[in-house]
Amino acid sequence: MTEPGTVLITGPTRNLGRRAVLAMADRPDGRRPDLLLVGRAGRDLTAVADEARAHGATVREIGCDLSRLADVRAAADTARELLAAGAVRPLRALVANAGTMSTDTRQASPDGYEMTFAVNFLAHAQLVGDLLDSFTAPARVVLIGSNTYHANFWRRLLGVAEAKWTDPVELARPAAREQAPSMAASGVAYSNAKLAILYYAHELQRHVGEGITVSVFEPGWMPGTALGRGAPAAAQAMSRALGRVPGVSTPERSGPLLASMALDDKWAHLRDGAFVVKTKLTEVQPVAHDRERERRLWEATAELLERAGASGS
């Protein structure tokens, strides 16, 4: 078994991320990684860090608002400094767990990008890109995906919006002010961001070489989590009720599965954006493989991140 080294995880304070952190921290000596927790500074980040330390893990907190790309760049700088100083062991995995679903696609991030796309996709593209030279092989990048990018019978029945792909520069642009907010538009933005993650995973593998593998984890449908906390109260109440239906995914069940993706030998062979739904390696839909879209996304992402960096935000 490869020495577990350090795992950096975003969005560690709630639900899936928190449960993944605690599952990693609860591993026995010799299998327990050091942890870099990247999330909003404050009580919740301190609490999960303290709980992980109580399990015996070496933990460092890195305060970061992932909607601000300047914060993301600073977080990467801090991670590099901790690694170089030997404060944590070599970086073996990055888990891009943080996510959001904005209820108003007119809302812009501090860098001027649509909020769902900014947090779910651009922030992690910035972080991964900034840390690629800091990994010690063999290493893993685990991204969080979702099957919402395409509509099957049940998603249509539930009104879950599928992706409507367009040029990534357009996906990053907030909706016009005269466009009324709607859950449908929010759902499309979320599914677009998740399709972007699949395209990015495929293209990232082509750029990182043999020592780093890239995979995508789908935790299953988890109604009632904080992802939709900006939704109307009635919608949140319905989501919480659905979260109690037997058989749906929960952070308690899916968190350890995410930890396994980052650490366990059984997943060490995954690469090229392999898509795992909970515990099952799953073939994505044909729309999720498109070399031209993947190439354009890579190019546009570089443009968008460079633009944000040049603005100094």
Please tell me the distance from the alpha carbon of residue 48 to that of residue 51, in angstroms, as a whole number: 5
User: How high is the pLDDT of residue 247?
Assistant: 61
Query: 138 in a domain, yes or no?
Result: yes
Query: Measuring CA to CA, which residue among 264, 32, 295 is closest to residue 142?
Result: 264
Find the CATH number of the domain harbouring 74. Answer: 3.40.50.720
Please tell me the distance from the alpha carbon of residue 268 to that of residue 161, in angstroms, as a whole number: 33
User: How high is the pLDDT of residue 235?
Assistant: 42
Q: What percent of the chain has pLDDT over 90?
A: 82
Query: 144 in a domain, yes or no?
Result: yes
User: How high is the pLDDT of residue 233?
Assistant: 44
Residues 6+ apart with CB under 8 A from 72: 64, 66, 123, 126, 127, 130
Question: Which parts of the chain sit beneath pLDDT 70?
Answer: 1, 153-154, 224-247, 312-313
User: How high is the pLDDT of residue 290?
Assistant: 98
User: How high is the pLDDT of residue 245?
Assistant: 53
Query: 1 in a domain, yes or no?
Result: no
Query: 71 in a domain, yes or no?
Result: yes
User: How high is the pLDDT of residue 151?
Assistant: 86
CA angle, residues 70, 218, 97, in degrees to nearest 5: 25
Query: 21 in a domain, yes or no?
Result: yes
Whether the Cβ atoms of residue 70 and residue 117 lie closer than 8 Å to each other: no
User: How high is the pLDDT of residue 239?
Assistant: 46
Please tell me the distance from the alpha carbon of residue 258 to that of residue 276, in angstroms, as a whole number: 10
Number of separate domains in the chain: 1
Query: 163 in a domain, yes or no?
Result: yes
Query: 54 in a domain, yes or no?
Result: yes
Query: 212 in a domain, yes or no?
Result: yes
Whether the Cβ atoms of residue 238 and residue 171 lie closer than 8 Å to each other: no
User: How high is the pLDDT of residue 237?
Assistant: 46
Tokens 């839909």 appear where?
285
Domain with 245, as residue range(s), is 6-311
Whether the Cβ atoms of residue 213 and residue 271 lie closer than 8 Å to each other: yes
DSSP the chain: -----EEEEES-SSHHHHHHHHHHHTSPTTTPPEEEEEE-SSHHHHHHHHHHHHTT--EEEEE--TT-HHHHHHHHHHHHHHHHHTSSPPEEEEEE------S-TT-B-TTSSBHHHIIIIIHHHHHHHHHGGGEEEEEEEEEE--GGGS--HHHHHHTPPPP----HHHHTSPPPTTSPP-HHHHHHHHHHHHHHHHHHHHHHHHHH-TTEEEEEEE----TTSGGGTTS-HHHHHHHHHHTTSTTS--HHHHHHHHHHHHH-GGGTT--TTEEEETTEEEPPPGGG--HHHHHHHHHHHHHHHHHHHHHT-
Q: Which two tokens stand for residue 307?
A: 């633009």
